[in-house]
């Protein structure tokens, strides 16, 4: 688990070899930065920090560096990027690697060096002897997208790192408003921690006030207001988006995408799919599925069909110039309000 590796690094208990791979760049970058900050002092980094692209440099050269005694310090830190030979991909470069030397180094690493192999591949080739050897010997970080529970743990840990506590409702709201991108979440938690420097506590009111919304998250809030038939509040969010120079056609596209997601989640759930399966099928984060599933419960099938038809009509009008673009979304919202009123009087 990423947090365990980070705790070990912060405690200066370093593994001789690290293997970082996966498609979540934040986790890989953060691990590298932690190693730089804790393995070496700023003065030592000038002499003992090296980085090699293995698409340009043979592994032999990099390992010779790892086997060289550190200069004016206790350790060397060596980053080895793009070890394509650990994957099933074909290398574009014409570099010859002496992999037998790497195998020998893994068995007996230099006690004064920390070697970090970093691959952006989603998977490594576990059939290869070298990959098996590394996974057995190295400290391994698989940088995959965090699930909802891991994201919440990560938010709490990030807050604690800044010396503040965050309550559970605030954690949930941060995820809802800021999304699941770790770069954005880091920025938002650090900002909240600074704002809470006096009280040392982050609550929902603070999150509501301070967290920046992406267009998608603003649209989610807008759709949430629509779902709960709060059309006046939905219009207020829409006008705010226009003031931020967001294009009506882009806003309509994201609204349509969110309602399409609600429709898909509702249909797949009816077929017996669980939320994790739906997330895998639709290739989106499970937290988005959870939110959409909550919204889906508030719509009947016919109601969703009517809404999708209204959105398709608005999209056609917007692209053919049939009406003022700004007014088309207003009309869509007013029609929804009318539809809700009719439903309530039946």
What torsion do the CA atoms of 259, 263, 268, 271 make, to the nearest 10 degrees?
170
Instruction: Specify the CATH number for 148-210; select among 1.10.1740.10, 1.10.8.60, 2.40.50.140, 3.40.50.1000.
Output: 1.10.8.60
Q: How confident is the model at residue 72 (pLDDT cuts 50, 70, 90)?
A: confident
**Partners of 118 in the β-ladder:** 20, 81
Kindly report, as residue ranges, where domains of CATH 3.40.50.300 are found in the chain.
Answer: 2-143
Q: Phi and psi dihedrals of 43, rounded to 5?
A: -70, -40
pLDDT digits (tens, 9 = 90+) for 305-329: 988 999 999 888 888 876 788 889 8
pLDDT digits (tens, 9 = 90+) for 244-272: 888 888 889 988 998 999 999 999 999 99
d(CA 161, CA 113): 28
Highest mean pLDDT among 165-169, 223-227, 324-328: 165-169
Provide the 3-class DSSP secondary structure of residue 52.
strand
d(CA 193, CA 200): 7
d(CA 175, CA 152): 8
What's the pLDDT score for residue 146?
85
Q: How confident is the model at residue 215 (pLDDT cuts 50, 70, 90)?
A: confident
Q: Phi and psi dihedrals of 112, rounded to 5?
A: -105, 10
What pTM, to 2 d.p., does this model score?
0.66
Kindly report, as residue ranges, where domains of CATH 1.10.8.60 are found in the chain.
Answer: 148-210
CB atoms within 10 A of CB 176: 18
Architecture of domain 215-340: Up-down Bundle (1.20)
Share the mean pLDDT of the chain.
88
**Homologous superfamily of the 2-143 domain (CATH):** P-loop containing nucleotide triphosphate hydrolases (3.40.50.300)
**Partners of 20 in the β-ladder:** 118, 141
CB atoms within 10 A of CB 154: 20
């Amino acid at each position: 688990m990423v947090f365990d590796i980070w705790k070990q690094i912060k405690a200066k208990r370093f593994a001789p070899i690290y293997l970082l791979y996966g498609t979540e760049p934040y986790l890989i970058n953060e691990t590298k930065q932690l190693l730089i900050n804790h393995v070496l002092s700023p003065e030592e980094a000038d002499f003992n920090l090296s980085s090699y692209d293995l698409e340009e440099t043979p592994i032999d050269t990099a390992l010779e560096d790892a086997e060289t005694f550190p200069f004016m310090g206790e350790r060397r830190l060596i980053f080895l990027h793009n070890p394509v030979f650990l994957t099933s991909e074909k290398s574009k470069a014409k570099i010859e690697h002496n992999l037998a030397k790497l195998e020998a180094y893994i068995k007996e690493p230099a006690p004064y060096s920390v070697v970090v192999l970093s691959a952006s591949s989603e998977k490594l080739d576990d059939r290869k002897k070298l990959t098996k050897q590394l996974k057995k010997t190295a400290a391994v970080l698989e940088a995959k997208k965090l699930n909802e529970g891991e994201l919440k743990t990560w938010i709490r840990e990030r807050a604690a790192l800044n010396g503040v506590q965050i309550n559970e409702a605030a954690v949930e709201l941060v995820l809802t408003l800021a999304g699941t991108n770790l770069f954005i979440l880091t920025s938002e938690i650090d900002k909240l921690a600074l704002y809470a420097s006096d009280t040392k506590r982050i609550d929902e009111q603070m999150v509501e006030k301070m967290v920046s919304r992406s267009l998608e998250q603003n649209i989610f809030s807008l759709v949430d207001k629509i779902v709960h038939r709060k059309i006046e509040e939905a219009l207020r969010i829409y006008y705010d988006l226009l003031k931020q120079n967001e294009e009506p056609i882009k806003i309509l596209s994201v609204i349509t995408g969110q309602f399409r997601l609600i429709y898909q989640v509702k249909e797949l759930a009816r077929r017996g799919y669980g939320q994790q399966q739906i997330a895998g099928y639709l290739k989106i984060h499970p937290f988005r599925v959870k939110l959409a599933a909550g919204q889906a419960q508030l719509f009947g099938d016919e109601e969703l069909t009517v809404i999708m038809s209204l959105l398709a009509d608005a999209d056609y009008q917007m692209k053919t110039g049939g009406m003022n673009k700004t007014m088309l979304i207003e009309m869509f919202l007013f029609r929804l309000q009318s539809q809700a009123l009719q439903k309530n009087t039946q």
